[in-house]
Amino acid sequence: MDWWIVLIGMFAMLLVLFATGLPIFLSFLVLNLAALFYLTGSFGGVLLIVNSMFDTGTSFSLAAIPLFILLGEILFRSGSINILFNAVDAMIGNIRARLYAVAIVLSTIFGALSGSAMAVAAMMGSSLLPEMRSRGYGRDLSIGALLAGASLAPIIPPSVMAVVLGILAKVSIAALLIAGILPGILLAIAFFLYVAVRGRINPALAPVSDRVALPARERGMLVLRALPFLLIIASILGFILGGIATPTEAAAVGCVTAAIVCTIFSELTWRKMVECLRSTAAITTVITIIMVSSVSFSQVLNMTGATFKLVSAATALDLPAWAMFVLLQILPFVLCMFIDQIALMIMLVPLYGPIVLALGFDPIWFWTIFLINMSIGGITPPFGYTLFALHGVTRDVPLQAIFRAVVPFIGIFILVIVILALFPSIILFLPSFL
């Protein structure tokens, strides 16, 4: 049977299994066993899958995932969010479009703290969006700003998605984490410039603030109170950039620091700490079981010979490098509207890895843009998960209005990806210090 028929058949079977509602990890296990039986005529090679699952599950790099999740849980459940909110609000002051700026900056910070775009969208949609609407801010522009800021969560470190991608792509996790800093900041600035220009063109979208200006001393105290929490993230990045610790060790330092800071300056109690640990265990279990059940998928692909043939076919196309880059990035952009991000990475990364090396692309540059691309999928209609997370807490807003609100920000994402593709040094500058 031709290699491309095998490849299409495996992916079609996987999508059918997803559509049945079968858990992701079971879908991959069923596919791997079925493919193994087809290739060997028996289940004698099942030991290969078991060994692969064990090797993945005991990987030291995988330990960074629960640590980053625990860090976000500690900060969220301790009430630190209110402290950061007040600090950002005080720093921005009484400028026109103030709440747009607050929305984007807070979404960026919370995204970095939690690593979950859906969690940030739900939290900001239930807390800040009603305030923005009550003060006369444009509904669609407010929704778009919140979703755009939330979608930076997988890009800006500490990012669980970057850790998972680094493990799958077999590239430096530290470099991949650090590489997301400048693109994340660039995107946040682009979002704010867009809402500021829209507010300037149509003043009705961004009313002048009626908030009484706080004295400089009070603003300074609010900002000073938030500094210990920002130092948590700074310490993690500092340990990684300085080469002092691996991402896993830096995540552990961040968790200890967060526990101390939140106990002293916030409301972290033993009861809340137990809740943090329970939630972390539940989320980590889901991610880990998907990882260990699906990593053997790449081995099964290699056994079919489809991976080697696909690389040969891709390099034989003799297309310019930029054309191949575009083709490789379009596929995740489309598929991420329909498929879970981790599941999609597990499907595509084993195929993309050899092609990226064969074409001579810098791995950190390519996979960082790949990660940004997948973040767009989370806010792209009609099936972006982050869109539904926001809709879940704003039932009075039609889903069609949310779709419409996010379209301009998707355009900004694509524009920034073009800039990052043309100027790789933006991505590679900070990792060069490692």
pLDDT tens for each residue of 105-131:
887 777 766 666 777 787 778 777 887
- Six-digit token string for 206: 């961004």
180 touches 368 (CB < 8 A): yes
Map residue 27 onto helix, strand or coil. Answer: helix
147 touches 387 (CB < 8 A): yes
> Which residue did the predictor score with more confidence, 17 or 385?
17
Any residues with CB less than 8 A from the CB of 261 and at least 6 apart, and which? 228, 229, 231, 232
Angle of helix 306-316 versus helix 3-19 axis, rounded to 10: 110
Q: How confident is the model at residue 199 (pLDDT cuts 50, 70, 90)?
A: confident
pLDDT tens for each residue of 133-179:
887 888 899 899 989 988 888 888 878 788 888 888 889 988 998 99
d(CA 219, CA 131) in angstroms, rounded, equals 21
Q: What is the pTM of this model?
A: 0.78
CA 344 from chain centre, in angstroms, equals 13
What is the residue whose two structure tokens read 């995204």? 111
d(CA 329, CA 341) in angstroms, rounded, equals 14
Residue 225 exposed, middle or buried by CB count within 10 Å (0-12, 13-18, 19+): middle
359 touches 315 (CB < 8 A): yes
